[in-house]
Chain A
Amino acid sequence: LAKTTQPISMDSYEGQEVNITCSHNNIATNDYITWYQQFPSQGPRFIIQGYKTKVTNEVASLFIPADRKSSTLSLPRVSLSDTAVYYCLVGDFSGGYNKLIFGAGTRLAVHP
């Protein structure tokens, strides 16, 4: 079972900032939080990963509060090409290997 909960869908307009919040109440001490983006008929693409506080790269920012029970992916000034499904994952390292447990994701629709 996925360890995360996120909104099923969101709508935005070009040029706006989009924040997608993910809940992971049972995150383990050593788990990292990772976000993937997926376009139709393509494989997921890594966006950003973090453990605590704030992480920023050229694509997005990831905000993680001190209790780490949630995280927020922030996409600055979205464009139509950001329309995709966004998945929030926390690490599953049971068995000594890293497997990704995906939920249903958040379908982001960016409108003109």
Chain B
Amino acid sequence: DAGVTQSPTHLIKTRGQQVTLRCSPISGHKSVSWYQQVLGQGPQFIFQYYEKEERGRGNFPDRFSARQFPNYSSELNVNALLLGDSALYLCASSKTGVDRYNEQFFGPGTRLTVL
């Protein structure tokens, strides 16, 4: 079975631009979470979606938004890019996301560079 897939692999943008990152979860998984990982740090939670509804949001500005589609794939949008948004953006899928011991499976990430 295919794992979590993300696109694009790499992306270069300039300050002020907008970016959309895409994620396809493992088949049968209904929950998608997004994480930002700055170089040298652990991933930081951004959003979780389950059954197309936002279940949780981390401490990120409103420039960050996301949505989940009927097929459970997801998009992360970042507006008005700042240099500090340069990071590896990770998508993780799980069966429900509402189970205390539900394993989250991560994709390979999208490397965003803001110049």
Chain A interface residues (CB < 8 Å from chain B) = 2, 30-32, 41-46, 49, 85, 87, 91, 93, 95-105
Instruction: Known contacts A99-B33, A99-B45, A100-B43; decide if A43 and B100 are in contact (CB<8 Å).
Output: no
Task: State A100–B101 Cα separation when bound (angstroms).
Answer: 11
A98 touches B94 (CB 8 A): yes
Min Cβ gap B5→A in Å is: 11
Q: Which of B5-60 contact A (CB under 8 A)?
A: 31, 33, 35, 41-45, 48, 50, 55-56, 58
B108 touches A30 (CB 8 A): no
Q: CB of B71 within 8 A of chain A?
A: no
Task: State A93–B94 Cα separation when bound (angstroms).
Answer: 14
Chain B interface residues (CB < 8 Å from chain A) = 4, 31, 33, 35, 41-45, 48, 50, 55-56, 58, 88, 90-92, 94, 97-109, 111
Q: Which residue from A30, A41, A49, A95 sits with its C-beta under 8 Å from B56? A: A95
Residues in A with CB closer than 8 Å to B92 are 43, 100
Interface residues of A, dominant DSSP: loop
Instruction: Known contacts A101-B45, A103-B42; decide if A96 and B98 are in contact (CB<8 Å).
Output: yes
B45 touches A46 (CB 8 A): no
Task: State A95–B103 Cα separation when bound (angstroms).
Answer: 18
Task: State A97–B97 Cα separation when bound (angstroms).
Answer: 6
B109 touches A98 (CB 8 A): no
A45 touches B101 (CB 8 A): no
A30 touches B100 (CB 8 A): yes
Q: Which residue from A32, A42, A87, A103 sits with its C-beta under 8 Å from B101? A: A32
Task: State A49–B100 Cα separation when bound (angstroms).
Answer: 11
Residues in B with CB closer than 8 Å to A49 are 101, 103
A43 touches B106 (CB 8 A): yes
Known: A44-B90, A102-B43. 17 other contacts (CB 8 A): A31-B100, A41-B88, A41-B109, A41-B111, A49-B101, A87-B42, A91-B100, A93-B100, A95-B56, A97-B55, A98-B100, A99-B33, A99-B45, A99-B58, A102-B44, A104-B42, A105-B42
